Amino acid sequence: MDREYDLFEVFPDGSLVWRDSVTGHENAIRRLRELVELTDNEFRVMHVPTNTLIASLKRGSAEDKPRGPA
């Protein structure tokens, strides 16, 4: 069964705003890459029930590859 993942935008002051929810790890990474193109802010993929950071990405960061456990 695929997990549900939530995507959050991280603002310079450290505050988070929920932006989307997707099913499946690959879909979450794909959506992360789409969202990061819309702003200069960082985005994070979280599995909220376990409070696990799956990936984070900021446009122009380290070859635009998600960081974090896979």
Query: For residues 15-47, b (16+ Cβ closer than 10 Å) or e, as one string?
Result: eeeebbebeebeebbebbbebbeeeeebbbbbe
Say what the pLDDT of residue 52 is: 95
Domain ranges of the chain: 4-64
Residue 64 reports pLDDT greater than 80: no
The mean pLDDT of 19-36, rounded to a whole number, is 96
pLDDT band at 60 (very low <50, low <70, confident <90, very high): confident
Residue 69 reports pLDDT greater than 80: no
Select the more confidently predicted residue: 18 or 61: 18
Select the more confidently predicted residue: 68 or 9: 9
